[in-house]
């Protein structure tokens, strides 16, 4: 059995190779030990899973181990969105949550994510402690468990349906009356995931005319990762154009990430959605507050913040850092370029359903296409274009990334390098004219991630080309 390693969003592995019943039991025992050590065990734990292969069976193993340690589980009935699990942790004042999910990873993967009692993904100090104990147990397996029947008999298992409470929470943050009045035509790609019966149901209740795609069970996710990136949304893009939809919305496998299609079928980068929603919440909804973004996210949100004289918080990659700022009330909105967004007063966890509903509200109220809204934003704060690519791991490694930092080039794509920052697992080069290039290793896949930003598409392509060459060790 390979060692347990928590990445930016939990522990993930290939089913039956790394992610096994035994490994799940060991990690759960480590979490149980952590909860008992910090006196969080008496509050119970929310346990959920997404639509992946055998997700319910792995969740049952979690329940058995928790019960063996005298910890009550609140087990969701059926696949449940990650943000709904986070909402339930907070609502129940539970000691934490364990979610069986690999989010947008390919179908052969599954994973386990631990959230703290605040509903936010556990911070590195916590996951390192859990990880260390779990790896010690790999050498000498020792865990306690009860059967599901015994867990029920001892009142250590309660099955729950989170939809209504979660949906009511969203209703307090979204202007459903505006959406209802607009009578929008919307295409929705649920990607066979846990968002089925959530986003589509809420939109239908709001009077939208919905055309849903991939809204049935398929643990193979149609043979591709349940990732709402442009390349995976061909059916949705086609339907939006052919059916004259006002909008196309998509969710990933556990509904914490989103994909947005404009009325002409154009995919709108999540980077732009963060800045547009930040602007909309201040300019139209009359709210105020700062914005948080990960180090790999577009600086367009910074331009919006400057326009309204609001603070900006740059965080490491991983929504847990943004979640902490939401929990402490420091920001109005926070997001990552990888399509994760949440807002003040909501769960400190990325929520694709929330993001889709906010975009729907914005389109309904403004009466404009997303491209029109983005161009109007550019006129107010300046234009930036951004891009992300995955490059299969070549000659570069963490050692190679350190060398890039220590021997930073003086120019990249003809632009002078103003600074090079070690971002932990990667390097961010700040270039002249507000441009930048970031290269980092993925925490969950054997790829190098490239991120770039520039003033126009031609300049951006030159930067990304230089990044690809650097990532491949050329």
Instruction: Give the per-residue SS3 of 345-360.
Output: CCCCCCCHHHHHHHHH
Buried b (16+ CB within 10 A) or exposed e, 317-346: bbbbbbbbbbbeeebbbbbbbbbbbbbbeb
Same fold, 6-164 and 185-263: yes
Q: Kindly give the confidence (pLDDT) of every residue in the chain, 474 residues in length, as a single tens digit, with 9 standing for 90 and above.
A: 678 999 878 999 999 999 999 999 999 999 999 999 999 999 999 999 999 999 999 999 999 999 999 999 999 999 999 999 999 999 999 999 999 999 999 999 999 999 999 999 999 999 999 999 999 998 888 889 999 999 999 999 999 999 999 999 999 999 999 999 999 999 999 999 999 999 999 999 999 999 999 999 999 999 999 999 999 999 999 999 999 999 999 999 999 999 999 999 999 999 999 999 999 999 999 999 999 999 999 999 999 999 999 999 999 988 999 999 999 999 999 999 999 999 999 999 999 999 999 999 999 999 999 999 999 999 999 999 999 888 775 555 555 555 665 677 899 999 999 999 888 778 999 999 999 999 987 765 667 889 999 999 999 999 999 988 887 766
Q: What is the CATH number of domain 6-164?
A: 3.40.120.10
Domain 269-383 listed as CATH 3.40.120.10: yes
| pTM (two decimals) | 0.93
Domain residues of the chain, as ranges? Answer: 6-164, 185-263, 269-383, 385-471
- Tell me phi and psi for residue 342, to 5 degrees: -150, 170
The tokens for 157 are: 């298992």
> In this structure, are residues 211 and 242 in contact, taking their beta carbons and an 8 Å threshold?
no
User: What span, in angstroms and rounded, lies between the C-alpha atoms of 401 and 450?
Assistant: 12
| Topology given in CATH for the domain delimited by 385-471 | TATA-Binding Protein (3.30.310)
Give the residues across from 6 on adjacent strands: 11
User: What span, in angstroms and rounded, lies between the C-alpha atoms of 36 and 50?
Assistant: 26
CA within 13 Å, CB half, 7: 16
CATH label, 185-263, candidates 3.90.1010.10, 2.40.30.30, 3.40.50.2000, 3.40.120.10: 3.40.120.10
Nearest Cα neighbor of 196 from 85, 91, 78 is: 78
Cβ partners under 8 Å of residue 175, min gap 6: 361, 365
User: What span, in angstroms and rounded, lies between the C-alpha atoms of 108 and 102?
Assistant: 9
User: What span, in angstroms and rounded, lies between the C-alpha atoms of 109 and 18?
Assistant: 9
């Amino acid at each position: 059995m390979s060692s347990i390693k928590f990445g930016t969003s939990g522990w993930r592995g290939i089913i039956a190779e790394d992610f096994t019943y035994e490994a799940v039991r060991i990690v759960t025992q480590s979490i149980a030990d952590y909860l008992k050590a910090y006196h969080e065990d008496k509050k119970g734990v929310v346990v959920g899973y997404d639509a992946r292969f055998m997700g319910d069976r792995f969740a049952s193993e979690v329940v058995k181990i928790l019960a063996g340690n005298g910890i009550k589980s609140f087990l969701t009935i059926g696949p449940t969105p990650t943000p709904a699990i986070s909402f339930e942790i907070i609502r129940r004042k539970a000691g934490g949550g364990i979610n069986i999910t690999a989010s947008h990873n390919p179908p052969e993967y599954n994973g386990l994510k631990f959230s703290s009692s605040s509903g936010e993904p556990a911070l590195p100090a916590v996951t390192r402690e859990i990880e260390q104990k779990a790896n010690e147990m790999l050498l000498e397996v020792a865990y306690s468990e009860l059967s599901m029947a015994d867990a029920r008999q001892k009142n250590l298992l309660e099955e729950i349906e989170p939809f209504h409470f979660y949906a009511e929470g969203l209703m307090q943050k979204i202007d459903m009356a505006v959406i209802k009045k607009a009578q929008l035509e919307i295409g929705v790609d649920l990607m066979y995931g846990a968002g089925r019966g959530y986003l589509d149901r809420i939109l239908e209740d709001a009077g939208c005319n919905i055309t849903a795609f991939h809204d049935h069970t398929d643990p193979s996710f149609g043979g591709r990762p349940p990732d709402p990136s442009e390349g995976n949304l061909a059916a949705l893009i086609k339907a939006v154009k052919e059916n004259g939809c006002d909008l196309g919305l998509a969710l990933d496998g556990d509904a914490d990430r989103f994909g947005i299609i404009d009325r002409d079928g154009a995919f709108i980068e999540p980077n732009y959605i963060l800045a547009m929603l930040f602007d909309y919440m201040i300019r139209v909804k009359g709210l105020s507050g700062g914005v948080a973004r990960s180090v790999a996210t577009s600086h367009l949100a910074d331009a919006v913040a400057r326009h309204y004289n609001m603070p900006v918080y740059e965080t490491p990659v991983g929504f847990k850092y943004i979640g902490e700022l939401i929990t402490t009330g420091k920001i109005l909105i926070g997001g990552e370029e990888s399509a994760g967004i949440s807002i003040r007063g909501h769960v400190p966890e990325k929520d694709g359903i929330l993001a889709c509903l906010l975009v729907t509200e914005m389109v309904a109220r403004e009466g404009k296409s997303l491209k029109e809204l983005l161009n109007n934003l550019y006129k107010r704060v300046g234009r930036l274009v951004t891009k992300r690519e995955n490059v299969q791991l070549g000659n570069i490694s963490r050692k190679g990334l350190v060398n890039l930092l220590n021997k930073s080039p003086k120019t990249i794509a003809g632009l002078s390098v103003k600074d090079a920052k070690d971002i932990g697992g990667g390097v961010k080069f700040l270039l002249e004219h507000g441009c930048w290039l970031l290269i980092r290793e993925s925490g969950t896949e054997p790829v190098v991630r490239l991120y770039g930003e520039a003033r126009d598409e031609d300049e951006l392509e030159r930067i990304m080309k230089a990044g690809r060459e650097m990532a491949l060790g050329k």
